[in-house]
Amino acid sequence: MSFLPITLQECIERGFEQPDFVLITGDGYVDHPSFGIAIIGRILESHGYKVAVLAQPDWKSVDDFKRFGRPRLGFLLTSGNVDSMVNNYSVFKHRRKKDEYSPGGVAGNRPDRALIVYSNRAREAYKDVPIILGGLEASLRRLTHYDYWEDKLRRSILLDAKADLLVYGMGERTVVEIAEALDAGIDAKDIGWIKGTCYKTNEPDFDEDTIVLPDYDSLILEENTPVKKSSYCRSFVTQYQNNDFINGKRLIEAYPNNFFVVQNPPQAPLEREELDDVYHLPYEGNYHPIYEKDGGVPAIREVKFSIVSSRGCFGGCSFCALTYHQGREVRSRSKTSIVKEATELVKDKDFKGYIHDVGGPTANFREPACEKQLTLGVCKTKDCLYPDVCSQMKVDHTEYLDILRTLRNMDTVKKVFIRSGIRYDYVLADTNEEFLYELCKYHISGTLKVAPEHISSNVLRLMKKPGKDVFIEFTKKYKAINEKLGLKQYLIPYLISSHPGSTLKDGIELALFLKKSGFIPDQVQDFYPTPGTLSTCMYYAEMDPFTEEPIYVAKTMEEKKLQRALLHFNKPENKEMVQKALKIAKREDLKNEFTTRASKNSGRKQN
C-alpha cells in the first residue's frame, strides 16, 4: 500500500506523468475512509484511473493548480469533510482559531467558500478541463439556499463556481459513472443523465417525472419584500420530499436569461456488498507523512481506531443535514467486513486496546426502517420516529449486538466504545433490553452521551425529536440497569439553544429542568443555520415550511447568547446574562433558583 500521489514526482514514481483526475480538497490529505477525498480517490484508482491529490492548495495564485499539469479527464473538488464556512466561523461569526482538518490544527489553510475559489483557480489554470464539485458543501448548496453568513439567499453553487457538474450525496457510484462518460469522450456539458448529479442547461426536459421549483427571481423578489417567504418554503418542501432514490423526481430551478439548474433524482445507496468493497480498499489509515513535522492532522485521532458500520439515518431531526446528504434509508456493512477491518486495526503499532467507535450517523441503526422502504422508498409525508415510533418500524438490535460481542472478545481488544450516539427512543421501542444492558456493561466508560436537544414540547415538535417524557423514561431505565450492574455511570445530554421556535421562556424551562434533574451539560451548541436543513428553512422564513405557521426565531446575537447562558447557568461568568434573561422574560421570581451553587458533579448526571 502507499498514499495517493501529492506531487508530480510521486506520480512519475507510480508510472504516469499525467493524472486522469486531480482531486482538490480543503482538508489535509488523510488516507482514511472517514475522509471523502480518500474514498473517491481509492474508488477511481480501483477502476483503473490515475489520480493525484492536491490538498489545501495555495489559492492566492494559479501556480499550485498546475502542480500536476493538465489532468486528462478533470478536476474533482471538495471543500473537505466540513462546509468551509462552518469550518472557518463559529455560530457567532467569529473566525475559528483552530482547524481540526489541517496540519497541526492550524486555521487559515482553506478559503471561505472554498469550492468557488478552487473552481475559479482550476478554470484559470486549464480553461477547457472539466470541473466537478462534490462533498458536503456541494450537496447542501446544490440549489438556491439560505446563507447564514451573508444573511441572504444564494444561487446554486454550481453557477457561482462556474463548474460543469455537481455530485450530491455519497458519490462513489456517481463519480465512476462520470469518469466512464468522460473517458468515452463525452463532453462534460453533455453529461445530463447520471443520478445524484446537478447540471446546468438552456434546454431542460420537462416531462411527467420532473418538478419545476419556484424560480430564482421569484425567491429573490420575495426575500426583498415584506411578505411571507412561501415560495422558498414550497421549494424546500419539494426538495425535502424528493430526496429518495425510489420515489424522488427530477427537479428544475430556473434562473435569469433562460438558464436552468437540473437536479437529477438521487443515486441509490450502496448495497451491503458494495459498501464492504469501499471499506476494503487499500487505505493507509493515516495522514500523509508530509504532515508529521506539524504534528499530523488532529481529526484523525477520533477516527483512526473507529469503524464505520452504516450510512444513512431515518431519525429525521430537523437540524441535521445528514438526511439531505446521505439520505433516510440506512445501509450497513456486513459483520465479516467489520471484523476484518478490526483485525487490521489491532495490528497497528499505535493501537492501545481500544476501538473508539462502531457506528454511523446513528450507531444503533443498521437496516432500513421498514420493509416498505425497499420497494416504495421512504414516506414523503411521514417520519419514522416522530411524533412516535411508526407501527411499521422494524426494531432489532440483534445483528449489532452480535458484531459488538465479537469485537470485544477479540485478542488484544480491551474495550469497544460506542460514541456515534444512539437513538434512545429506538432503544425503548425494543422489547428486548439486551442492547441497553450490554451497552451499559461493556460499551461506555463512566458516561453515555445522548441527545434530547431540548425539553420544551414546542421546540421538540419543530426539531422532530421525542418528547420530554421519552427522555425521562430512558434515564430511569439507564439508572435501573446501572444499579443492577453495580456501576456508577452518568448521562451527558447534548443540547441546542436558540433553535427556531425557542423563546427565552423555553430556554428558562430547559434550564429549570436541568437544574432540578441534576444535569449540568458540558456540551451546548447554539443552533447553527447551515444550508440544507429543515431548521435552517424555518430560521430564514420564520415559519414552518409545511404549514406556513409563524415561528419565533431568535436572530440577534444578544438573545442567542442569553439562551446559551441559561443552559450554563452554573458558570459564574454567566450570572449577569442569566439574570438579564430572567428580567426580559419577566421571570425574576426564579432569580434564587439560579444563584444556588451547582452540584460538584457538574457536567453529568448520575443514573
Q: What is the pLDDT of residues 5-20, one digit of tens each?
A: 999 999 999 999 999 9
Cα distance from N-terminal residue to C-terminal residue, the chain = 47
pLDDT of residue 603: 42
* Mean pLDDT of the 258-274 span: 96
In a domain, residue 111? The reply is yes
In a domain, residue 406? The reply is yes
Which residues does 174 contact at the CB level (< 8 Å), separation at least 6? 167, 194, 195, 196, 197, 267
Q: Give the domain-ending residue among 197, 232, 260.
A: 197
DSSP secondary structure code for residue 5 in this structure: P
Per-residue pLDDT band at 524 (split at 50, 70, 90): confident
**Which residue, among 550, 448, 447, 568, has the nearest Cα to 497 in the 3D structure?**
568
pLDDT of residue 604: 52
pTM of the model: 0.95
Per-residue pLDDT band at 68 (split at 50, 70, 90): very high
Residue whose C-alpha cell reads 446521505 in the numeric block? 326
- What are the residues facing 145 on neighbouring strands? 154
pLDDT of residue 239: 97
The total number of structural domains that make up the chain: 3
- Res. 367: pLDDT tops 60: yes
Would you list the DSSP string of 347-385? Answer: TSTT--SEE-EEESSSTT--S-SSTTHHHH-S-SS--SS
pLDDT of residue 607: 46
Q: What percent of the chain has pLDDT above 70?
A: 98
* Mean pLDDT of the 509-520 span: 91
Q: Give the domain-ending residue among 427, 444, 461.
A: 444
Write the pLDDT tens digit of every residue in 172-224: 999 999 999 999 999 999 999 999 999 999 999 888 899 999 999 999 999 88
- Res. 600: pLDDT tops 60: no
pLDDT of residue 594: 83
Handedness of CA 329, 132, 195, 173 (dihedral sign): negative
Write the pLDDT tens digit of every residue in 446-473: 899 999 999 999 999 999 999 999 999 9
pLDDT of residue 175: 98
In a domain, residue 206? The reply is no
* Mean pLDDT of the 118-126 span: 98
Residue 496 lies in domain: 446-607
Residues 596, 556 share a domain: yes
> What are 114's three cell numbers?
472554498
Residues 403, 487 share a domain: no
φ, ψ dihedrals at 579, nearest 5°: -65, -35
Residues 598, 454 share a domain: yes
* Mean pLDDT of the 532-539 span: 96
